[in-house]
Every structure is written in C-alpha cells, then in structure tokens.
Amino acid sequence: MGGLPRSGTYLFGSSKPLPQAALRRKVLNRLRPGVTTHGFRASFKTWADEQTSFPHHVVEQALAHTVGSAVERAYKRGDLFERRRRLMQAWADYCTKRAPAGDVITPMRRIG
C-alpha cells in the first residue's frame, strides 16, 4: 500500500486546506509576479455594467459576491447557473473578438 504520505486529514501534512483565493494568488504570481486578480474582476464588472443588460444580481453572483439582505438570501434557493453561463459566454466572446480596424490604442500615462 504505497500512496502519498498523509499527516492527519490533509495531504502533505497541512493543518488546513489552502483557501482558493490563496491558491489563485500563488498560481497568478508564478505566471506574472505582482499581478492580482482584482484587475481582472474589475474589468469584468465594468464591462458587464456598461456593455451588457445582464441584471446586477447575476453579475454579482458571477463574482461570488453576497447579494441582497439576509432575508432576501434566506428565500433565494437558485444559483442562476444558466444566466451566469450566458454571461460568461458573452464575456469570453468579448475577450476574444478582434478590435475593429482603425482603432488606436495608446498607453496610459501618469499625469502630474
């Protein structure tokens, strides 16, 4: 019975699992040191608010934000999966489309 060593409940002797946010930061830091997920999330939120007609609560749930009061959340049973799937497909389409010919994009410069 080989297998990987265990120490308690978790693999590799950890006392608790690595939170998903910490795991994402670690992977992203390996790809691009100093980059955070906040820019990605802010870009998505700005695009969704300004360029689409998806309801606010669908966008917020896609970002895993808590939406509504405690009473509203107590009665909410669905996960809006199909609406979120359509939202994420629209985001993927937006991110992968080519910029129209003639658009000029210039780097931003610090003022002052």
| pLDDT tens figures, 13-32 | 555 666 767 777 788 788 88
pLDDT for res 23: 74
Q: Which residue has the tokens 């946010």?
A: 21
Per-residue pLDDT of 61-110, as tens digits, reads 999 888 889 999 899 889 999 999 999 999 999 989 887 777 666 666 66
pLDDT for res 1: 47
For residues 49 and 87, the answer to whether their CB atoms sit within 8 Å is: no
Which has the minimum average pLDDT: 1-5, 17-21, 51-55, 72-76?
A: 1-5
For residues 62 and 55, the answer to whether their CB atoms sit within 8 Å is: no
Summarize the confidence of residues 52-57 as an average pLDDT. 96
DSSP of 30-60, one letter per residue? HHSTT--SHHHHHHHHHHHHHH----HHHHH
Summarize the confidence of residues 2-11 as an average pLDDT. 55
**Structure tokens of 55?**
């309801």
**Structure tokens of 17?**
């699992």
**Can you tell me the distance from the alpha carbon of 87 to that of 81, in angstroms, rounded to the nearest whole number?**
10
pLDDT for res 40: 80
Write down the domain spans for the chain: 40-94
pLDDT for res 102: 74
